[in-house]
């Protein structure tokens, strides 16, 4: 099955904080047990091979409850305040203890530009 689509809208200069529940790709969508897994995600200009990396979300991803599939995505306002780009694409993968990746989320990233600084 394909990864779920979840678009991100980030208000530039404001903390972005979401707790995501990662589920399996079956119709039942049961929470994944993330014990022993790592989570990784990149934002890129587009899907093309060699597309420029806009931001590595890895440092902003933390598994908060492995058994329940909970991952926090927390982008501090000062991080997004420095972004000069306004749109991109991302995907989020888990990597199990054996090194096998599984793509679970994908989507567009839009940055609403900050006016008041």
Number of C-beta neighbours around residue 76 at 10 A: 13
Mean pLDDT of 94-102: 95
Mean pLDDT of 95-99: 94
Structure confidence at residue 60 (pLDDT) = 98
pLDDT in tens, 27-78: 888 999 999 999 999 999 999 999 999 999 999 999 999 999 999 999 999 9
User: Is 69 in contact with 63 (CB distance < 8 Å)?
Assistant: no
Give percent of the chain with pLDDT exceeding 90: 90
Residue for token pair 């090194």 = 99
Strand runs labelled E in the chain: 4-5, 8-11, 16-21, 38-44, 53-56, 61-65, 70-75, 87-95, 101-112
- pTM, two decimal places: 0.92
Average pLDDT over the chain, rounded to whole?
Answer: 95
- Maximal CA-CA distance, the chain: 47
Residue 1: pLDDT band (50, 70, 90) is low
Domains and CATH numbers, the chain: 4-112 (2.60.40.3350)
């Amino acid at each position: 099955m394909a990864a779920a689509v979840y678009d991100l809208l980030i208000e530039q200069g404001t903390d972005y904080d979401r707790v995501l529940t990662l589920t399996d790709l079956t119709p039942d969508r049961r929470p994944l047990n993330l014990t022993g897994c790592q989570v990784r995600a990149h934002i890129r200009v587009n899907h093309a091979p060699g597309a420029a990396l806009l931001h590595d979300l890895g440092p902003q991803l933390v598994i908060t409850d492995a058994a329940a599939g909970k991952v926090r995505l927390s982008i501090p306002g000062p991080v997004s305040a420095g972004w000069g780009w306004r749109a991109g694409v991302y995907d989020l993968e888990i990597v199990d203890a054996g090194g096998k990746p599984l793509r679970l989320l994908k989507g567009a990233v839009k940055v609403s530009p900050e006016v008041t600084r």
